[in-house]
């Protein structure tokens, strides 16, 4: 399996619901470093996994919708606990939609899976890793 990765970051505020979160139940800030791995079994006709520039731009666009936001007030996340794990899946889904729409180039339609990893700190992270549905 071939893999290409890109990285960016975003800053948010949020609170988490549930006793398990202790003081994180109160509004607090977080800065996440985001790594995305794009995977496919065979390279495309250009000999690449996908256009790294388009991948970088797509990740930046997805994160721009979350950056400097209080996620507790974001309608698209209403009723969801915005844990690191849940945010990784949200970013995965938003990137997958862009891939299916052809926004990462036609070569990206051959991608087989993505892994989105959010680093909360230098010692803790969470990820969502899944196959991509074939394009519609």
- What's the CATH number where 9 sits? 3.30.479.10
Answer whether residue 118 shows pLDDT above 60.
Answer: yes
Q: How confident is the model at residue 106 (pLDDT cuts 50, 70, 90)?
A: confident
Domain assignment present for 136: no
Domain assignment present for 58: yes
Q: What is the mean pLDDT of the chain?
A: 95
Domain span at residue 13 reads 2-131
The confidence score (pLDDT) of residue 135 equals: 57
Q: How confident is the model at residue 136 (pLDDT cuts 50, 70, 90)?
A: low
Q: What is the pTM of this model?
A: 0.95
Give the span between the Cα atoms of 80 and 87, in whole angstroms: 10
Q: Which residues, listed in sequence order, are joined to residue 31 by a DSSP beta bridge?
A: 11
Say which residue the tokens 């997958």 belong to.
96
């Amino acid at each position: 399996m071939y893999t290409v990765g890109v990285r960016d970051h975003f800053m948010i505020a949020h609170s988490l619901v549930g006793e398990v979160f202790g003081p994180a139940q109160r509004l607090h800030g977080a800065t996440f470093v985001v790594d995305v791995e794009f995977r496919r079994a065979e390279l495309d006709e250009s000999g690449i996994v996908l256009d790294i520039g388009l991948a970088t731009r797509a990740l930046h666009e997805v994160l721009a919708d979350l950056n400097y936001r209080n996620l507790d007030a974001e309608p698209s996340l209403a009723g969801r606990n915005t844990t690191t794990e849940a945010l990784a899946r949200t970013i995965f889904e938003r990137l997958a939609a862009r891939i299916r729409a052809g926004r990462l180039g036609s070569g990206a339609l051959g991608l087989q899976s993505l892994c989105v990893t959010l680093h909360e700190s230098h010692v803790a992270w969470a990820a969502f890793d899944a196959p991509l549905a074939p394009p519609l």
